[in-house]
Amino acid sequence: METSTTLRPDWRGPAAALGLLVFRLHLGFVMVEAGLPKLETSDWFTQQVADLGFTFPSPVMWAWLAAWGELAGGLMLMLGLGTRWAAAQLAFQFFVISFMWYDKPEFFTGMYVQQEMFWGFVLLVGTGAGRWSVDAWLRGRAWAIWPRRTLSPKAIATATVVLLSATALAGSAVAGCVSDHLRSDLTIEPGKQFLLGGSQRGAFKVAAKNKGKVAVEIKEQLSSGAFLNKATLKPGQSGVIRFAAGSAAVLLNPSTSPARMDLTVTGDNGNLRMQSEVLPARGQATATPRLTGGDLSDVLALWQGTLKYVDYRTNNTVTLNTSVRGEMTRPEQLLLRFDFEEPSKKHVTSVDTLRLSSDGSRVRWDEMDYTVQAKEWLPNQTLRLVLQGQGQDDNRPATIRTTVLLSPKQFNLKKEVRYEASAPFVQRNQFELSR
């Protein structure tokens, strides 16, 4: 009968060492690839950090620490240097992403890849780097005897558990401390607009309810001065709208009657600028539609629904059960992993890659280039995008138009085509997904 003593050499044998080496190299490479692009100033990543509640003293600082934590932690894992400490800080980062990001995704159901990464780091905290690592090479060196004796594996494991627990509690406390909300019962005079923010370091959210009798337009004025349409709330409607660090919320009342809004502001609301001013003249040039990775952050979840498409051979409409998982591999790159269930119950998978141009005016969707024709924020945090480009459909040159509706609970894609400039668009397929 084998005992735990006889099994122990197998666990620490060459096969286990090779497995840990490959595992470390894989996790480390993924982290280096994820952290390197984030070292550049990025509004979408800073806003994500701020939305999690890490705004004191600045979300920029926390974003910088997270980026360097991923890059340096990945390099340390690949080398097997300080493996348990590197894995511990990465485990904390992915614990926050997987289990504390309350708005999206849902607890335990939305971030499978991130949760797998989290448990991978936890595994390395327990096992260490293995024999083929810098840690193993340093073990036994004379100048390293004191740290080794002082920081035994049990002590390191215990300290790591304590560190993870403390940092998780501290993260929750920080999020709770900075999430004090600001309430306002606002009246906007006819022909005026109300500006909120524009000088704050972090992002903020506005939960707005129209209590008046006229519609109110809500826009986001970026730090660059450009405007984005976010929503139009009719009387009785409400919505929750996010604004990036340095942006201002602009509430416009173009009517001839007063508008009344009930506002609740959360996030970085400690230094929000507030002022009322006369509406600018109508007919001024509007900003060119610009798409950012942050606009697509709601995609980062597992979606379930259907695909309806036209079969070219029979011209009949076919419906397939479909699941889609969105992953943001880089600030400007999005992966959509599709799983289609055919009528025969066979599953077919595919992956679409979306890359945003540096100015956000174009999208390369697999091998096709689109221009952003329209970008509009509708009520209930719904983003409407219209993308259009030249490509092939049914082996014929065609103009292809894709319309996207995206909200925290809804993800719809509609593809339309036309073969001649004067012809109307014809719908080819439509995804209707939810979570």
Per-residue model confidence (pLDDT) at position 55: 67
pLDDT of 123 strictly over 80: yes
Q: At what angle do helices 59-79 and 43-51 cross, to 10 degrees?
A: 100
Q: Do the strands 204-210 and 302-310 form a parallel or antiparallel pair, or are they unpaired?
A: unpaired
**Fold classified for 182-278:** Jelly Rolls (2.60.120)
Tokens of 401: 């138009």
Q: How far, CA to CA in Å, does 398 sit from each of 57, 274, 332, 391, 395?
A: 52, 49, 27, 6, 9
Query: So what's the pLDDT on residue 43?
Result: 55
* 84: nearest Cα among 164, 172, 168: 164
In whole angstroms, what is the distance from residue 218 CA to residue 194 CA?
A: 10
Nearest-5° angle of CA 33, CA 104, CA 225?
75
Q: Give the pLDDT mean for 419-426.
A: 85
Which residue has better confidence, 98 or 406?
Answer: 406
Asked if the model's pLDDT at residue 50 lies above 80, the reply is no
CA distances from 111 to 31, 107, 350, 404, 409 (A): 16, 9, 19, 22, 15
Which amino acid belongs to residue 63? A
pLDDT tens digits, residue range 303-344?
999 999 988 788 888 999 999 998 877 767 888 999 999 888
Over range 261-278, report the average pLDDT. 74
User: Mean of the pLDDT values across residues 232-247?
Assistant: 84
Q: Is there a contact between 179 and 266 (Cβ–Cβ < 8 Å)?
A: yes
In this structure, what token pair is assigned to residue 95? Answer: 């614990």
What residues does 193 pair with on adjacent strands?
252, 277
**What residues does 185 pair with on adjacent strands?**
262
pLDDT in tens, 107-116: 444 445 677 7
By percentage, how much of the chain surpasses pLDDT 70?
74
Average confidence (pLDDT) over 75-85: 88
Q: What's the confidence (pLDDT) of residue 326?
A: 87
pLDDT of residue 157: 55
Separation between Cα atoms, residue 106 and residue 113, nearest integer Å: 14
Q: Residue 16 — φ and ψ, nearest 5°?
A: -65, -40
**Which residues of the chain are in CATH 2.40.128.20 domains?**
294-434
Could you report how far apart the first and last alpha carbons of the chain are, in Å?
A: 50
What pLDDT is stored for residue 5 in this prediction?
45
Q: How confident is the model at residue 399 (pLDDT cuts 50, 70, 90)?
A: very high
- Which tokens hold the place of 27? 């996790």
Q: What is the largest CA-CA distance in the chain?
A: 89
Return the amino acid letter for 101.
Answer: W
Residue type, 119: W
Average pLDDT over residues 237-264: 85
Output the pLDDT for position 268: 66
Domain(s) of CATH 2.60.120.10: residues in the chain: 182-278
What percentage of the chain exceeds 90 in pLDDT?
Answer: 15
Structure tokens at 60: 């920029």
Look up residue 384 and give its two tokens. Answer: 């409407």
pLDDT at res. 153: 57
Q: What is the pLDDT of residues 88-109, one digit of tens each?
A: 998 888 887 777 654 444 444 4
pLDDT value for 3: 47
- So what's the pLDDT on residue 432? 95
Burial (CB < 10 A; 0-12, 13-18, 19+), residue 313, is exposed
What are the pLDDT digits (tens) for 165-199? 554 444 444 344 334 567 777 888 888 888 888 76
> Mapped to the 3 state alphabet, what secondary structure does the chain carry?
CCCHHHHHHHHCCHHHHHHHHHHHHHHHHHHHHHHHHHCCCCHHHHHHHHHCCCCCCCHHHHHHHHHHHHHHHHHHHHHCCCHHHHHHHHHHHHHHHHHCCCCCCCCCCCCHHHHHHHHHHHHHHHHCCCCCCHHHHHCCCHHHHHHHHHCCHHHHHHHHHHHHHHHHHHHHHHHHHHCCCEEEEEEECCCEEEEEECCCCCCEEEEEEECCCCCEEEEEECCCCCEEEEEEECCCCEEEEEECCCCEEEEEECCCCCEEEEEEEEECCCCCCEEEEECCCCCCCCCCCCCCCHHHHHHCCEEEEEEEEECCCCCCEEEEEEEEEEEEEECCEEEEEEEEECCCCCEEEEEEEEEECCCCCEEEECCEEEEEEEEEEECCCEEEEEEEEEEEECCEEEEEEEEEEECCCEEEEEEEEECCCCCCCEEEEEEEEEC
Closest by alpha carbon to 354, among 374, 336, 372? Answer: 336
Q: What is the pLDDT of residue 181?
A: 61
CATH architecture of 294-434: Beta Barrel (2.40)
Average pLDDT over residues 32-55: 68
